Structure 1
Amino acid sequence: MTDDRVTIRLTADEALVLSHWLEKLQMTDLSRVVDDPAVWAPVHRIAGTLDKTLPALFAPDYAQRLEDARARLRPEG
């Protein structure tokens, strides 16, 4: 098997909202949510990559940025 890579492109809003959700997911007992331990490695890799590229959770405006991103991503109506 070759080491082919897959690239996923997200908007900044999508990345921020997904990163926040993954952070919450990782704080739970993953085995209760993800029934296959093989999935944990990619979940951690994605979360780590997002953590390196997004504003820090402890940034003073993080909560506002997150809420603004959520509002832009929610379907209208």
Structure 2
Amino acid sequence: MDEEAITIRLTRDQAFVLSDWLYQVMFQSDDLEGIVHDRAVWSPIYAISGTLDKTLSEIVMPDYGPRLEAAKERLRADLYGRAEEPTASGQDTTGAPDRGGTAGNHCESDHRQ
């Protein structure tokens, strides 16, 4: 079995938005099983999520919501050439949950509750 590590490069905005989405799916909605049916995929998801949590200082900042919205707007502008309306999911992230606590691997989810 080849265990060579793979490096993925993301901008800070990409990492921040992905981290928030993973957190929402894994811990807020408790819907990871509904989205990812093959549990073998959970291993890399947890690895990516944990790495993002250890790397991003934004997830423990008091202005988490406004920072997240600004990052999303920049990413939308990069993708579409202009700012767009918030996503159709209807989720209001301006009051995004405080993801404070010790940043770490999502396997240690008790600090998120």
- Return the TM-score normalized by structure 2: 0.63
Q: Which amino acid aligns with 2:39?
A: P
After superposition, residues 25-36 of structure 1 pair within 5 angstroms as: 25-27=25-27, 28-36=30-38
Q: Which amino acid aligns with 2:45?
A: V
For residues 67 and 30 of structure 1, what CA distance do their matches in structure 2 show? 23
* Count of aligned pairs between the two proteins: 77
After the TM superposition, which of the residue ranges 26-35 and 13-22 deviates more from structure 2? 26-35
Q: Which structure has the highest helix share of the two?
A: 1
State yes or no: 1:41 paired with 2:43: yes
What is the aligned partner in structure 2 of residue 7 from structure 1? Answer: 7
- Unpaired runs of 5+ residues, structure 2, are 85-113
- The answer to whether the Cα contact below 8 Å between 1:55 and 1:62 also exists between their aligned partners in 2 is no
Q: Which amino acid aligns with 1:49?
A: T
- Unpaired runs of 5+ residues, structure 1, are none
State yes or no: 1:17 paired with 2:22: no
CA shift for structure 1 position 68: 0.7
RMSD: 1.4
For residues 18 and 25 of structure 1, what CA distance do their matches in structure 2 show? 11
CA shift for structure 1 position 19: 0.3
